[in-house]
Amino acid sequence: MNRTRRLRKTENIRRLVRENKLTIDDLIYPLFIEEGVGIETEIVSMPGIKRFSLDRISKELDEVVALDIPAVLLFGIPAKKDEIGSETWNDDGIMQQAVRFIKKNYPGLYVITDVCFCEYTSHGHCGIIHDNDVDNDATLVNIAKQVISHAKAGVDMVAPSGMMDGMIESIREALDNTGFSNLPIMSYAVKYSSAFYGPFRDAADSAPTFGDRRTYQMDPSNRDEGMREATFDDQEGADILMVKPALSYLDIIRDLKNNFDKPIACYNVSGEYAMIKAAAEKGWIDGERVMMESLLSMKRAGADIIITYFAKEAAKLLLK
């Protein structure tokens, strides 16, 4: 008889036949940096995650480095917003200051910036508004300015998340023309219009004041379209392809893994984090085990890189 249970008998044999492993090397930790001083604000819907001003962030960064987490993904929350998000390309903006601060004080830490406008525009959309919708090509012009400014500040990698068409091509060209041809791009290639972003929009103060993001982010019903999105970004020169959110989109992660010869990342988003935290707080699930199991499911689906608010907690368990 075929007895698959033979290889499950003890922990040692289970270790020998284990197919997938989560390691600290897989993790990227997102950080919310707010312009101002003395800010260390707990995000209510994301227990354990805070918004920091730069003068308060060292403790957090010390911890990330001590846990050997390879990279952080930065989100900037500016003091002033406008219609077009012009602070995104201010060389002295909060993101640029943050990059300089971290690269100076933690030179070994890999720094990635989220490239978008929604935290910087008064209307909360990811670009310039014309006729009540985001104008794709006008937005591309400003994205180019934004990435060049991040590059000049010394960032290690940029991660555009706005879902504009032609975004990767514009960014690659802008970087190549300004002496940054070695700066990689991690594209939010397949990003869905998801209700799982709810807590993030509180955290980053980026909820749209009118409408929603369905004219640029993808319809959760679509799988083939995800391949199309990834194909374009691959052709346009993305170095890493990301799927977002992660947990409800494990099929898409596997599609990308099977079809592209590039590292695949996934973003374990705020709502996925909040659900596990809330159920664990109520004592309804074992939070630690559910966290590790869900991160492992992303690896099993094919993710090489996982961006997660759980990075510190998972790293603590993995270091043991």
Q: Binding site for Mg(2+), residues?
A: 229
**Which is nearer to ligand PBG, 170 or 206 (by Cβ)?**
206
User: CB–CB of 147/95 below 8 Å?
Assistant: no
Task: Specify the pairing of strand 40-42 against strand 50-52.
Answer: antiparallel
Dihedrals φ, ψ of 41, to 5°?
A: -105, 120
First-residue to last-residue Cα distance in the chain: 39
**Which is nearer to ligand PBG, 22 or 116 (by Cβ)?**
116
User: CB–CB of 53/76 below 8 Å?
Assistant: no
Kindly list the residues in this chain that would bind ligand PBG in the complex (CB under 6 A): 114, 116, 118, 161, 197, 200-201, 206, 213, 269-270
3-class DSSP state for residue 18?
coil
259 CA to centre of own chain: 22
| Burial tier of 311 (Cβ tally within 10 Å: 0-12, 13-18, 19+) | buried
User: CB–CB of 179/154 below 8 Å?
Assistant: no
Dihedrals φ, ψ of 182, to 5°?
A: -95, 5
Among residues 9, 104, 191, 282, the one annotated as catalytic is 191
**Token pair recorded at residue 27:** 């993790």
Q: How far is the CB of 75 from ligand PBG (least distance, A)?
A: 7
Dihedrals φ, ψ of 70, to 5°?
A: -70, -30
7 CA to centre of own chain: 37
**Which is nearer to ligand PBG, 100 or 213 (by Cβ)?**
213
Query: Is residue 277 among the annotated active site residues?
Result: no
**Token pair recorded at residue 174:** 């802008």
The closest alpha carbon to 203, from 45, 18, 30, belongs to: 45
**Which is nearer to ligand PBG, 269 or 295 (by Cβ)?**
269
Query: Is residue 103 among the annotated active site residues?
Result: no
Annotated binding site for 5-aminolevulinate: 201, 213, 270, 309
Q: How far is the CB of 317 from ligand PBG (least distance, A)?
A: 21
Q: How far is the CB of 311 from ligand PBG (least distance, A)?
A: 12
Q: How far is the CB of 198 from ligand PBG (least distance, A)?
A: 7
User: What does the alpha-carbon distance between residue 230 and residue 228 come to, in Å, rounded to a whole number?
Assistant: 5
Q: How far is the CB of 138 from ligand PBG (least distance, A)?
A: 18
**Which is nearer to ligand PBG, 202 or 259 (by Cβ)?**
202
Among residues 103, 152, 244, 257, the one annotated as catalytic is 244
Q: Which residue is nearest to ligand PBG (CB)?
A: 200
Catalytic residues: 191, 244
